[in-house]
Amino acid sequence: MNHFLTEIYNWREIDYRKFFKMDALSKAGFLASELLLEDFDREQPKKNMGIILFNQSSSLEADKAYQQTISDPENYFPSPAVFVYTLPNIVTGEIAIRNKIYGETAFYISSRFQAGLIEEIATGVVYDYGLKYLLTGWVEIDKDEIDTFLMLCEVGAQGQMAFNAKNIEKLYNKSLKYNK
């Protein structure tokens, strides 16, 4: 899976050395955000943009990798570089740092992809924090499967967002998924 993500990184000719230290969840979310935010000036602070992501398994893949470093008393080697990724919100932090996004960021865990939940939370965050843009969606990593679906939402002149649970679900069902 990491090889696949690295191929995308190289194909897009991205220059962000921290990418190679990231876990698979952060890499998947980071790459999807690179595609969606390519028209924004990365150096311009974005106080009116936020990030709200969801998944089912939290940071389970990173948790398992970290557990391997501490489970054997004879070969005990806890790694801070692995431990940092045992928090799923690290992916939102990586995206925010890269793009100077200073608005609200959060990562929610849900039992499954729920378009209605994404709509409800995303809409609330946009209005509660006065955001103009919101990067939101689903970033799931499970063994050799990548299920990443991100949207960049913009609040219109009338203060309304142009999405609802029905079109989120439709877009998600048409999105590409990677399974090795």
The least confident of 55-59, 126-130, 147-151, 157-161 is 157-161
User: Pairing state of beta strands 145-154 and 178-179?
Assistant: antiparallel
> What is the reported pTM?
0.88
133-142 β-sheet, strand order: 105-109, 49-55, 133-142, 145-154, 178-179
The least confident of 19-28, 132-141, 171-180 is 171-180
Percent of the chain with pLDDT over 70: 94
Of 160 and 78, more confident: 78
pLDDT digits (tens, 9 = 90+) for 102-143: 999 999 999 999 999 999 999 999 999 999 999 999 999 988
Q: Residue 160 pLDDT > 80, yes or no?
A: no
**Beta bridge pairs of residue 93:** none
CA 41 → CA 38, 63, 101, 119, distances in Å? 8, 34, 11, 27
Which class for 168: exposed (0-12), middle (13-18), buried (19 or more C-beta within 10 A)? buried
Of 158 and 102, more confident: 102
- Domains, the chain, in order of start with CATH, read 2-59+88-179 (3.40.50)
Side chain identity at residue 36, one-letter code: L
| Percent helix, percent strand, percent coil in the chain, to nearest 5 | 45, 20, 30
CA atoms within 13 A of residue 152's CA, in its CB half-sphere = 15
pLDDT digits (tens, 9 = 90+) for 61-113: 888 888 888 888 888 888 888 888 888 899 999 999 999 999 999 999 999 99
Q: Residue 164 pLDDT > 90, yes or no?
A: no
